[in-house]
């Protein structure tokens, strides 16, 4: 999030929620938004094909066709320009490339947009007026925006909207993606991505490589070049990669899986993740994992993925270890150990360090041990945090000691005396001027046809979490929501002949599931909604791995399916 949750909830005059089921997926923030609407009359526009719970509090619900977000946004911006509601001084002072962007937006008159999105023209005008007249206005989104082949373009177009209205860098405004997992923000910040080191330092940058080579005790390319031939002879494996940090962007999870079949990936180390449940096209994922030479799975439960593991290491839950999580507003917070790890299970940081030490013995020629952060001897996570401080500019001043004093620390927090950053981009953008990007509508990858005439979208429900390993083992949650339900519109239910029966078979080009129907107008006719919490009826048996070309995120929100009675 560019802004903070309390800032947005207290100061925004209007919220534009697009592709976020906020009250079910970020329930406590969702409740804050309900309070803002109820108690101080903030306006709320929800753009979502489904009638999700928060639409009950909405001033306006735009029920667009799945996969038409860009057309919708361009249409709204078209009206804003037509009416002259854009923030001209912000555009002049803080941004560039407006004219090129404008030329694209002009191509989206309301009538055309109404045809693509199925939102009536008058509703588009109404929405544009609310968005433009309520300042500041905060845009809030989640996976409904990003899980498309145009995920990155969707996000860029939302940034266009907020720059055009001058809502960037201001209290109560901003672009506010809600991060799903408790520490997905932190996993990204800490370099859990194939293209960047911690704090998004590119793996391809020679300066960054040199910095980490120095810190971790690796040789640089230059040093290697200067080595005499006789020195090289002492080194048993003289391939280039044996000594230096790779400057090649690695594979994303959605590339690693098919990479197994191509022989590009031989061994996998999976920490606390369940690809069989969470990745697209389950049958394909199972096939890939089957073909691995070696799979190490570090988990708290024997997950669906465990069937494919060769070694299972018992990790610890959040209640059994101390360290930090970073939430969706970039706020780093303490996690504190409350109980001892169960049985012989160990905190994950301990397991990773032990394995690293054993590997360093086996790959002995690589790391030069005298470097400042070459080693793996950590007494506790506070010590690991010191190393993070040293190599991660945005976390430079975030220590356990400061957090324990109750300081509110949101990155960037580069030094021990820095107070952290509540709102990003207040004076300038990361690149200087904000660049407007001309974005065109692209239809989803998979189109309905005669054989698969309906659209399925996927997501989670309030009572369960992702692949369901934790929540399916929580008794009360199972009592309230004990099996997968597929949302289907009453009109479709009649067409399908659901009368009195309740089990549906949903089939896509990749697979088929059977699940209980929930007949509800939450979904529009022609659309069903399914989740991936239950292995016996997981939506990911049906989804496909069409990826956004930049973010490599799969298009979970649009799958063509056939729905029949069992």
Partner 1 sequence: MVNIKINGKDIQVKDGMTVLQAAQEAGITIPTLCDHRDLEAFGGCRLCVVDVKGWRTPMASCTMPVNEGMEVETHSPAIEKSRKTILELFMSNYHDSGYQDGQKEETQFMHWVKHYGLDVKASMSPKPRHIVNSDANPFVFVDLNKCIQCTRCVRACADIQGRFVWSMAERGFDTHPVAGADTDMLDARCESCGACVAYCPTGALDNKMSIGAGKPDKLVMTTCTYCGVGCQFELNIKDGKVIRVTSTEKAPVNGNHLCVKGRYGYDFIHHPDRLVKPKVRRYLLEGKRKEDIREQRVEHSKTNPLISNSPISSPWDWVDVTWDKALDIVADKFADTRSKFGADTLGFLTSAKCLNEENYLMNKLARQVIGTNNIDHCARL
By the rule CB under 8 A, 6 interacts with partner 1:
yes
Write down the least CB distance from residue 188 to partner 1, Å.
6
Torsion region of 440: left, alpha or beta (phi above 0 gives left; psi -120 to 50 gives alpha): beta
Write down the least CB distance from residue 298 to partner 1, Å.
8
Looking at beta carbons only, is 202 or 438 nearer to partner 1? 202
Looking at beta carbons only, is 109 or 314 nearer to partner 1? 314
Q: Residue for token digits 């078979």?
A: 505
d(CA 116, CA 514): 32
Q: Where are the beta strands (DSSP E) in 258-360?
A: 267-271, 294-299, 311-314, 323-326, 332-335
- Answer for which of 72, 528, 554, 561 binds partner 1 (CB under 8 A) is 554
Write down the least CB distance from residue 15 to partner 1, Å.
14
Looking at beta carbons only, is 118 or 214 nearer to partner 1? 214
- Return the residues of window 442-501 that contact partner 1 according to CB under 8 A: 462-463, 465-466, 469-471, 473-477, 479-480
Write down the least CB distance from residue 482 to partner 1, Å.
11
- Return the residues of window 16-45 that contact partner 1 according to CB under 8 A: 23, 25-29, 31, 34-35, 38-39
Write down the least CB distance from residue 42 to partner 1, Å.
13
- Return the residues of window 385-444 that contact partner 1 according to CB under 8 A: 385, 387-388, 392, 395, 406, 408
Looking at beta carbons only, is 250 or 497 nearer to partner 1? 250
d(CA 227, CA 62): 65
Write down the least CB distance from residue 17 to partner 1, Å.
14
- Return the residues of window 113-172 that contact partner 1 according to CB under 8 A: 146-147
By the rule CB under 8 A, 519 interacts with partner 1:
no
Task: Select from 447, 326, 440 the least CA-distant residue to 385.
Answer: 326
The answer to whether 548 and 557 are in contact (CB under 8 A) is no
Give the burial class of 121: count Cβ atoms within 10 A of its Cβ; 0-12 exposed, 13-18 middle, 19 or more buried: middle
d(CA 348, CA 459): 28
What is the CB neighbour count within 10 angstroms for residue 35?
14
- Return the residues of window 296-315 that contact partner 1 according to CB under 8 A: 296, 299-302, 306-307, 310-315
The CA–CA distances, whole Å, from 363 to 190, 228, 235, 236, 337 equal 24, 21, 11, 10, 34
- Return the residues of window 520-539 that contact partner 1 according to CB under 8 A: none
What's the DSSP call for residue 410? B
Write down the least CB distance from residue 418 to partner 1, Å.
18
Pairing type for strands 454-459 and 527-531 reads parallel
Looking at beta carbons only, is 250 or 490 nearer to partner 1? 250
Three-point CA angle 276, 281, 287, nearest 5°: 65
- Answer for which of 59, 133, 181, 220 binds partner 1 (CB under 8 A) is 181
Pairing type for strands 311-314 and 323-326 reads unpaired
Q: How is residue 287 written in tokens?
A: 């096939």
Scanning 87-95, 110-118, 160-168, 257-265 for contacts with partner 1 by CB under 8 A, the matching segment is 257-265
Looking at beta carbons only, is 396 or 434 nearer to partner 1? 396
The answer to whether 374 and 217 are in contact (CB under 8 A) is yes
Q: What is the DSSP string of 67-85?
A: T-HHHHHHHHHHHHHHHT-
- Return the residues of window 262-301 that contact partner 1 according to CB under 8 A: 263-273, 275, 278-280, 290, 293-294, 296, 299-301
Q: Is 255 helix (H, G, I), strand (E, B) or coil?
A: helix
**How many Å is the Cα radius of gyration of the chain?**
25
End-to-end CA distance of the chain: give it in Å, rounded: 44
Looking at beta carbons only, is 103 or 401 nearer to partner 1? 401
- Answer for which of 66, 191, 414, 459 binds partner 1 (CB under 8 A) is 191
- Return the residues of window 320-339 that contact partner 1 according to CB under 8 A: 321, 323-329, 331-339
- Please give the size of the binding site for partner 1, defined by CB under 8 A: 160
d(CA 559, CA 524): 15
Q: Residue for token digits 């190599």?
A: 391
Looking at beta carbons only, is 21 or 104 nearer to partner 1? 21
Which helix (H) or strand (E) covers residue 203, if one does? none
- Return the residues of window 53-72 that contact partner 1 according to CB under 8 A: 57
Q: How is residue 556 written in tokens?
A: 């979970």
Instruction: Lay out the site mask for partner 1 across 203-222 (x = CB under 8 A, - = otherwise).
Output: x--------x---xxx----
Looking at beta carbons only, is 84 or 476 nearer to partner 1? 476
Which helix (H) or strand (E) covers residue 288, if one does? helix 282-290
The answer to whether 318 and 347 are in contact (CB under 8 A) is no
Q: How is residue 464 written in tokens?
A: 């369960």
- Answer for which of 107, 246, 451, 483 binds partner 1 (CB under 8 A) is 246
By the rule CB under 8 A, 503 interacts with partner 1:
no
Write down the least CB distance from residue 88 to partner 1, Å.
35
- Return the residues of window 353-392 that contact partner 1 according to CB under 8 A: 353-356, 358-363, 366-367, 374, 381, 384-385, 387-388, 392
Beta bridge partners of 298: 271, 313
Looking at beta carbons only, is 359 or 566 nearer to partner 1? 359
Looking at beta carbons only, is 225 or 476 nearer to partner 1? 476
């Amino acid at each position: 999030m560019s802004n903070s949750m309390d800032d947005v909830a207290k100061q925004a005059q209007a919220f534009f929620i697009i592709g976020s089921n906020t009250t079910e997926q970020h329930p406590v923030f969702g409740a804050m938004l309900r309070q803002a609407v109820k108690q101080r009359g903030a306006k709320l526009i929800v753009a979502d094909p489904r009638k999700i719970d928060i639409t009950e509090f909405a001033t306006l619900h735009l029920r667009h066709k799945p996969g038409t977000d860009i057309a919708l946004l361009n249409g709204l911006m078209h009206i804003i320009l037509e009416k002259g509601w854009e923030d001209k001084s912000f555009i002049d002072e803080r941004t560039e490339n407006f004219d090129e962007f404008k030329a694209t937006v002009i191509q989206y008159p309301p009538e055309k947009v109404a045809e693509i999105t199925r939102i009536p023209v008058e509703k588009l005008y109404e929405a544009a007026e609310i968005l433009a007249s309520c300042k500041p206005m905060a845009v809030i989104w989640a996976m409904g925006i990003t899980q498309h082949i145009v995920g990155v373009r969707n996000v860029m177009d939302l940034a266009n909207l907020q720059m055009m209205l001058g809502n960037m860098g201001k209290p109560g405004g901003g672009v506010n993606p809600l991060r799903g997992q408790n520490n997905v923000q932190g996993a990204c910040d800490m370099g859990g991505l194939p293209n960047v080191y911690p704090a998004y330092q590119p793996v391809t940058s020679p300066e960054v490589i040199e910095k980490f080579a120095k810190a971790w005790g690796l040789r640089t390319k230059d040093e290697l070049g200067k080595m005499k031939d006789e020195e090289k002879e002492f080194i048993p494996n003289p391939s280039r990669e044996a000594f230096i940090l790779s400057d090649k962007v690695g594979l994303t999870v959605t590339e690693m899986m098919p990479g197994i079949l191509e022989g590009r990936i031989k061994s996998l180390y999976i920490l606390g993740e369940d690809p069989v449940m969470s990745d697209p096209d389950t049958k394909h994922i199972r096939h890939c994992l089957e073909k691995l030479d070696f799979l190490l799975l570090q988990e708290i439960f024997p997950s669906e993925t465990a069937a494919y593991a060769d070694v299972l290491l018992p990790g610890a839950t959040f209640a059994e270890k101390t360290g930090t999580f970073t939430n969706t507003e970039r706020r780093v917070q303490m996690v504190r150990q409350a109980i001892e790890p169960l049985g012989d299970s160990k905190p994950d940081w301990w397991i990773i360090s032990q394995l690293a030490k054993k590997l360093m013995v086996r790959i002995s020629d690589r790391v030069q041990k005298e470097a400042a952060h070459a080693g793996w001897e950590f007494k506790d996570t506070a010590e690991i945090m010191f190393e993070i401080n040293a190599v991660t500019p945005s976390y430079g001043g975030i220590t356990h000691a400061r957090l324990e004093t109750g300081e509110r620390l949101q990155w960037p927090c580069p030094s021990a005396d820095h107070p952290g950053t509540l709102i990003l981009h207040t004076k300038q953008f990361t690149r200087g001027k904000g660049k407007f990007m001309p974005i065109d509508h692209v239809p989803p990858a998979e189109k309905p046809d005669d054989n698969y005439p309906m659209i399925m979208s996927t997501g989670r429900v309030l009572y369960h979490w992702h692949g369901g390993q934790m929540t399916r083992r929580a008794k009360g949650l199972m009592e309230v929501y004990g099996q997968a339900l597929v949302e289907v519109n009453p009109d479709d239910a009649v067409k399908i002949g659901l009368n009195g029966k309740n089990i549906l078979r949903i089939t896509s080009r990749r697979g088929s599931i059977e699940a209980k129907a929930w007949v509800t107008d939450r979904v529009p006719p022609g659309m069903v909604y399914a989740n991936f919490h239950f292995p016996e009826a997981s939506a990911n048996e049906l989804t496909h791995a069409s990826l956004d070309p930049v973010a490599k995120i799969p298009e979970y929100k649009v799958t063509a399916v056939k729905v029949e009675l069992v």
